[in-house]
Structure 1
Amino acid sequence: MKTGSIITLSVAAVALIGGALWGLPQYGVWQQELAGRAELVRAEQNRRIAVLEAQARLEAEELNAEAEVARARGVAEANSIVAEGLGGPEGYLRYLWIQSLGENGQDVIYIPTEAGLPILEASRPIAR
């Protein structure tokens, strides 16, 4: 029986080694296939995310453009109302000029004379 059990163990060992030599490459192929599928799914998901983010940016820019157009229409309408109240575009420009004079206390205003030329203050020192 001792010889029979040695032969059985030897056959089992050869079968186990043979199975391992055949099975390990098959397992490697199977494992690589699963890894490839996982990578493909990951890439598809990343692509979907990128597309959704791009669509969100596009929608946001379209809404920003609409808001900018609405703001411009409002400003244009307000300017038109003010200009009409001040006697037209020239009156509105004069009003804006007068408003800007008050913003900077260091402005020097030159008033034109009869010939349309300003009186210059050549002797006035320049403030620094």
Structure 2
Amino acid sequence: MESKRTPIFFGTIISWMLFAFIGFGMWGCPTYNVWQQEMSGRAEFAKAEQNRRILIEEAAANLEAEKLNAQAEIERAKGAAEAIKIENGSISEKYIQYLWVRQQKNLGDKTVIYIPTEANLPILEAGRLPKIPNQNLDNQ
């Protein structure tokens, strides 16, 4: 008699376990989806906050760099004023030529030809040779 009840008993237990599993799945899946969406939202918020902090730090670094550049420009102006003062309050043509030549060194690999004029001032802008279009050499 016991042998006939055992399969029914185990079948009933398995049925209840399957019912419980399906019930848990029906409750657990939506709850998990809500939790997963919440965690995803928190991650996106943290990423946006970090990006905002990065932008603020970059802006602060740019501001500091501009302040330092302004200080450097002030020091250059003080140096130029001191140089003018040394030259008795007026800038000589030789000093202007020196500044111009020194500036040309900073231009890089451009070719500059210095041609002194009768006033000993450099020609700052010289006209370029006009481009001649290719002529057709075929004799037809």
Same fold (TM over 0.5): yes
**Following the alignment from structure 1 to structure 2, what is the Cα–Cα distance between the partners of residues 98 and 58?**
38
Count of residues paired in the alignment: 111
- Any runs of at least 4 consecutive aligned residues in structure 1 with deviations exceeding 6 A, and if so which? 102-105
Match of 1:33 in 2: 34
Q: RCO higher in 1 or 2 (8 Å CA, sep ≥ 6)?
A: 2
* Per-residue deviation, residues 56-80 of structure 1 (Å, max 9, x unmatched): 1011011001101100110111110
2:115 aligns with one of 108, 117, 121: 108
In the superposition, the TM-score normalised over structure 1's length comes to: 0.70
Secondary structure class of the residue paired with 1:90: coil
Residues 74, 24 of structure 1: alpha-carbon distance in 2 compared, 3 angstrom cutoff: same
* Closer/same/farther in 2, CA of residues 85 and 43 from structure 1, 3 Å limit: same
- Name the structure with the higher helix share: 1
- The Cα of 1:5 is off from its aligned counterpart by 3.0
Gaps of 5+ in 2: 106-111, 120-140
What RMSD in Å do the two structures reach over aligned CA positions? Answer: 2.7
Give the % identical residues: 5
Deviates more, 1:36-45 or 1:25-34: 25-34
Moved more, 101-110 or 69-78: 101-110
> Cα–Cα, structure 1 residues 67 and 98, in superposed 2: closer, same or farther, change >3 Å?
closer
TM-superposed CA distance for 1:106, in Å, is 4.8
**What residue in structure 2 maps to residue 82 of structure 1?**
83
Give the alignment's TM-score, normalised by structure 2. Answer: 0.65
